[in-house]
Structure 1
Amino acid sequence: MILALLMSAALSGADQPAASAEAATPQAIPVAAPLNKGEQRIKMVCRQEAPTGTRLAKRTCLSLEDWKRRSEEDQEAMRQMAMKSAFSDVRGR
């Protein structure tokens, strides 16, 4: 049964070689699609990050604005930790 289906498919394809040649060529896909009114392109930046305690790097992709915000949040967290350690040393705890 399967052999008969394969044979009929092969024979039907032999009748129309131009159609199969068109189907075999890939369609051109635009790399950058046009933007709609009011839309903006977002530039993504990918970095390899190795979390503490591992050598295995993980790829992280964020927009430039997200990388800047993340950096500012990290700096603020470090300031907060430094402030806590400075106050704990003064009080002797």
Structure 2
Amino acid sequence: MRVVIAGGGTGGHLYPGIAVAREIVSRRPDALISFAGTARGIEARVVPREGFALDLIRSSGLKGKSIADRARGAWLLPLGLADAWRLVSERRPHL
């Protein structure tokens, strides 16, 4: 079984995902678990340390950001979509 877990930026999303990943592996040792996240979020440090693969998706926040940061975020949207499409195409997750 192939599983991709998305969620990061903060530990509030990431650590429950790691707990779910561990439970899946305990029940299905043959499961291939990977995470989707960003290079800037906590997942970039924690996921590899926990022994799971991490696929990076380019993105940036928009809310509460400067005009320059919003422009950068708008530029990254189609790139992030391409990253996500590639991830799903390559990983072919069941879940």
- Report the TM-score, using the length of structure 2 for normalisation: 0.27
Which structure would you say has the larger RCO, counting Cα contacts within 8 Å and 6 or more residues apart? 2
Q: Say which one has the larger Rg.
A: 1
- Report the TM-score, using the length of structure 1 for normalisation: 0.27
